[in-house]
Structure formats: structure tokens, C-alpha cells
């Protein structure tokens, strides 16, 4: 499950720092690029995370389409996107039939997945050497994505997580050196993801968008 030689998770995680400008706006081009790096990391770990990575890739394609659309100037940042879609009634607050691919709905799915990955990587960082990665991953999943998945998906995910490799193998797949260096790197880099997540969470909360169908 080792990643490719030119892959380094630290570069991916630190790239989230570039997602924020001086106004603490979440820049969508950098957000998309950073998520692509995370998908590469997930895919390097095997098929166990494909249920997440495939969905993330489909959402990234939607956002890239919006960024290249005639309305692209409204999709430069998360803040400008929310203001545009809320102001023009482009969001379905009670059903998803009219605007299933709205930017706000699409980014919310990416936002939820980012929370899961943030929690899981933080669990890897703070856990003891003999920690079970299946438990760490399931705890992170239950605290984030599980609430939005049907029962059959939750059961399949629970079974899949039982096949996860050791904590040491996960840390080595990050390609930043020995496990202790990977742990140190996570401590330095994860705050960048958390800041992006927290700013996004506040924005969605302010506009009552956290439960878009």
C-alpha cells in the first residue's frame, strides 16, 4: 500500500493553507486542487476507501464545471458562491430535484468528507502505536459521514474498515519518512485543514445550509 515515490502527504495537507486568502475566504481552485491530492492518498491505500474517493471525484468534477461555466466569477470562493446561489434561489432547501448539482450542495458533501478525513488523521496522530486503525476509522466515520449514509452503506463500511492495515503502514504511506516523522508532520499540517473546515462550517451554519438534501 505504499504510495508512489513522488507523493508526499505533507505537501497535500499544507496546500490547504493556500485555500485561504487574507480575508479568510475559501478559494475554490485551491480547495479543488488540495482535495485531488487527498484522493490520491486515499487511492494509494487500496479499494477500502473507494466509496468515499469516488464520490469525492464526482463532486470535484461538478465544481470544476462550475468554475469553467459562464457564471465562473461567482465561484471563485466559497463565500461568493454561497452569496450568489442563496441570492438567486439556486439551492433546494427541502428537496434536491431542481438543483441537484448546486455548488452549495456539492461543497457540503466535500465538507463532510473532509471532516471525516481530518478526524481520522488526527486519530492516527494521537493514538498509541498498537491502536487499531479499523477502530480509529470507524470512530471518525461515525462522528462525521455515518449520519448521512443509509443503514446498508454504514454496514458495508464497517465491514470494509476491518481490513485496514496497521497504523505503522498508514504512516509510512504518507511518504514523509519514519512513522514518528509522519506523526510530527500531521501535528504541523492538520491545523490548516481544520481552519478551512471551521470557516466553511461557520458559513454554512450562518446560512442554515448544513442539512441540504
Q: pLDDT tens digit string along 107-151?
A: 999 999 999 999 999 999 999 999 999 999 999 999 999 999 999
List Cα–Cα distances, 120 to 39, 101, 123, 132, in angstroms: 14, 28, 5, 12
CA–CA distance, 108 with 101 (Å, rounded to integer) = 11
Closest CA to 168 of 208, 209, 136: 136
Cα separation, 123 vs 131, whole angstroms: 9
CA gyration radius, the chain: 17
The pLDDT of residue 198 is above 60: yes
Q: Say if residue 2's pLDDT is above 60.
A: no
Q: Is residue 99's pLDDT more than 70? A: no
Q: Which tens digit of pLDDT belongs to each residue from 33-60?
A: 999 999 998 888 888 888 889 999 999 9
For the chain, give the mean pLDDT.
91
CA dihedral (84, 54, 141, 1) positive or negative:
negative
Range from 8-12, 30-34, 60-64 carrying the lowest mean pLDDT: 8-12
77: Cβ–Cβ under 8 A, 6 or more apart, which residues?
A: 21, 25, 26, 27, 28
The proportion of the chain whose per-residue pLDDT surpasses 90, expressed as a percent, equals 73
Own/partner contacts of 136-142, CB < 8 Å, gap of 24 or more, are 136/167, 137/161, 137/164, 140/116, 141/116
Looking at residue 201, its pLDDT comes to: 97
Does pLDDT of 196 surpass 60?
A: yes
Does residue 1 surpass a pLDDT of 60?
Answer: no
Q: How far separated are the first and last CA of the chain, in Å rounded? A: 35
What letter would DSSP give residue 23? T
Amino acid at each position: 500500500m505504499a504510495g508512489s515515490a513522488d507523493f508526499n502527504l505533507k505537501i497535500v495537507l499544507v496546500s490547504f493553507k493556500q485555500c485561504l486568502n487574507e480575508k479568510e475566504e475559501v478559494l475554490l481552485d485551491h480547495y479543488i486542487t488540495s482535495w485531488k491530492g487527498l484522493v490520491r492518498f486515499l487511492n494509494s491505500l487500496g479499494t477500502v476507501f473507494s466509496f468515499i474517493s469516488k464520490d469525492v471525484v464526482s463532486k470535484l468534477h461538478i465544481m470544476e464545471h462550475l468554475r469553467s461555466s459562464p457564471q465562473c466569477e461567482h465561484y471563485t470562493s466559497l463565500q461568493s458562491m454561497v452569496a450568489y446561489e442563496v441570492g438567486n434561489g439556486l439551492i433546494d432547501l427541502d428537496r434536491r430535484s431542481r438543483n441537484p448539482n448546486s455548488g452549495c450542495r456539492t461543497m457540503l458533501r466535500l465538507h463532510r468528507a473532509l471532516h471525516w478525513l481530518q478526524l481520522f488523521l488526527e486519530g492516527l496522530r494521537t493514538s498509541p502505536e498498537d491502536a487499531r486503525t479499523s477502530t480509529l476509522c470507524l470512530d471518525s466515520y461515525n462522528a462525521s459521514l455515518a449520519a448521512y449514509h443509509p443503514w446498508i452503506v454504514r454496514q458495508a463500511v464497517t465491514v470494509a474498515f476491518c481490513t485496514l492495515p496497521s497504523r505503522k503502514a498508514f504512516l509510512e504511506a504518507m511518504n514523509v519518512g519514519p512513522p514518528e516523522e509522519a506523526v510530527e508532520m500531521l501535528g504541523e499540517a492538520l491545523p490548516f485543514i481544520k481552519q478551512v473546515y471551521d470557516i466553511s462550517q461557520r458559513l454554512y451554519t450562518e446560512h442554515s445550509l448544513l442539512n441540504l438534501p
